[in-house]
Amino acid sequence: MRTVFNYRKALREPKKVQQLTASYSLPIPFELIPVINFFIFMAMTFLVGQIIRMGFPHAFERTFVMWLIGLPLALTILVTKIKPEGKNIYLYFLDVAKYYVQIKLPKKRFCNDREVEWMSDSTIQFKRCVKVVAKKREYIENTNENDEKQSIVNKNGRRVGVLPYQESVHSHAK
């Protein structure tokens, strides 16, 4: 009997950091991506705080630690929890930016997953109407009339053959 193993959970395990140097390790492992997000958000809030403090020197006097650590921590938790359309939020924003630049700004139109180029034309021209002529050079009056041979159907409803033309037709006759 076959045994099917599902390695998806093991292969999608996020990278974790515990050993910092050869002699120092953390007591618990931390995921790498949230740690990077935390430090990026920390640098961003520090820079924004410094810009605000240049205009208002007494801003964040008592709340600077909360501004410098609390806000990046909250943003990191928020970014980790939010998964729009099941994707990482960074990949989602990258896809939205690609869509906006490649499709929305050029105003492309699609039909059945293919780009339709003629939709941007302002005028549409049709070909002139053509009269439909039968092989005998007679006009076809009804759409259900045609010049094809009809099948013979017996009383059981089966097709048994093709009716020959009543008269012999010469292909070069006028």
Per cent of the chain over pLDDT 90 is 28
pLDDT digits (tens, 9 = 90+) for 73-93: 999 999 999 888 888 888 999
Q: Where are the alpha helices (DSSP H) in 12-142?
A: 32-55, 64-65, 71-81, 89-99
Residue 1 lies in a domain: no
Which domain does 69 fall in, by range?
9-120
Residue 128 lies in a domain: no
| Tally of domains in the chain | 1
CB hemisphere CA count around 66 (13 angstroms): 5
Residue 83 lies in a domain: yes
Residue 41 lies in a domain: yes
Residue 66 lies in a domain: yes
Q: Give the separation between CA 129 and CA 111, rounded to whole angstroms.
A: 27
Q: What is the dihedral sign for C-alpha 40, 67, 89, 97? A: negative
Res 160 pLDDT > 70: no
Question: Do residues 71 and 45 make contact, with C-beta atoms less than 8 angstroms apart?
Answer: yes
Residue 109 lies in a domain: yes
pLDDT digits (tens, 9 = 90+) for 6-49: 888 888 888 898 888 889 998 999 899 899 999 999 999 999 99
Q: Give the separation between CA 84 and CA 90, rounded to whole angstroms.
A: 10
Q: Give the separation between CA 93 and CA 99, rounded to whole angstroms.
A: 10
